Chains A and B, each alone.
Chain A
Amino acid sequence: GAVVSQHPSWVICKSGTSVKIECRSLDFQATTMFWYRQFPKQSLMLMATSNEGSKATYEQGVEKDKFLINHASLTLSTLTVTSAHPEDSSFYICSARDLGRGPNQPQHFGDGTRLSIL
């Protein structure tokens, strides 16, 4: 149980392109999903908290107009990197918590999206 699917697993695109990444909870519902970014040999940095049916909450220093988050249902959140540039190249990872299991539960992570901007 508690499977989180992320798509695509990798993408290469030209500078200036917008890229959408999907995060789905396959066997549970999640009112909240989280988006992280990870640079090589570094830890995961929380970018934003995605709330179903409402606006995302962004961490300090993360541009909300650059990283658009939509959480349209209890099983799907999307992250769109708008007008991507080489410095946006990174490993983007989403996670979700199982709504039905109460507080203080671990987040379950997708396998990440490797984004490379040329």
Chain B
Amino acid sequence: GENVGLHLPTLSVQEGDNSIINCAYSNSASDYFIWYKQESGKGPQFIIDIRSNMDKRQGQRVTVLLNKTVKHLSLQIAATQPGDSAVYFCAENMGSASKIIFGSGTRLSIRP
């Protein structure tokens, strides 16, 4: 079946650098995308979202880019900090089903 996947399972970034986490999705009917952060032993925490009628959205230190042509989603974290260490999931809203399906996740680790 269709699902959301990721290019990289792990990412190591120098503290202070920018991080880019990528995600590929295959469901063309998805109309809403979300990035979540999950710390160990906790539930996912909302970071930022984007609707399919947009290609970019910015938050505090984070930017999400959506390329519907190639079905690609990315999360950019500016000036990565130790507190950004976590697993990041992209998720897609399955259109009329209104259920959110998660990608496989990327672990972000920060080098001091």
Contact = CB atoms under 8 A, between A and B. Distances in A.
B82 to A, nearest CB: 21
Contacts of A6: 43
Contact of A43 (B41, B93, B102): B102
Contacts of B61: none
* Interface of chain B: mostly helix, strand, loop or mixed: strand
A106 B98 contact: no
A43 B89 contact: yes
Contact of B98 (A4, A32, A112): A32
Nearest to A59: B99
A108 interface: yes
Contacts of B43: 4, 6, 93, 95, 109-112
A104 interface: yes
Interface residues of A, number: 23
Contacts of B103: 43
Contact of A44 (B34, B41, B89): B89
Contacts of A32: 98
* Interface of chain A: mostly helix, strand, loop or mixed: strand
A103 interface: yes
A109 B93 contact: no
Report, as a range, how many residues of chain B touch the other chain.
Answer: 20 to 34
Interface string A60-86: 000000000000000000000000000
B88 to A, nearest CB: 11
A96 B34 CA distance: 14
Contacts of B93: 104
Nearest to B35: A106
B38 to A, nearest CB: 8
Interface of B: 31-32, 34, 36, 41-46, 49, 51, 89, 93, 98-105
Interface of A: 4, 6, 32, 34, 36, 42-46, 49, 93, 95, 103-104, 106-112, 114
13 contacts: A6-B43, A32-B98, A42-B105, A43-B104, A43-B105, A46-B99, A95-B43, A104-B31, A104-B51, A109-B36, A110-B43, A112-B41, A112-B42
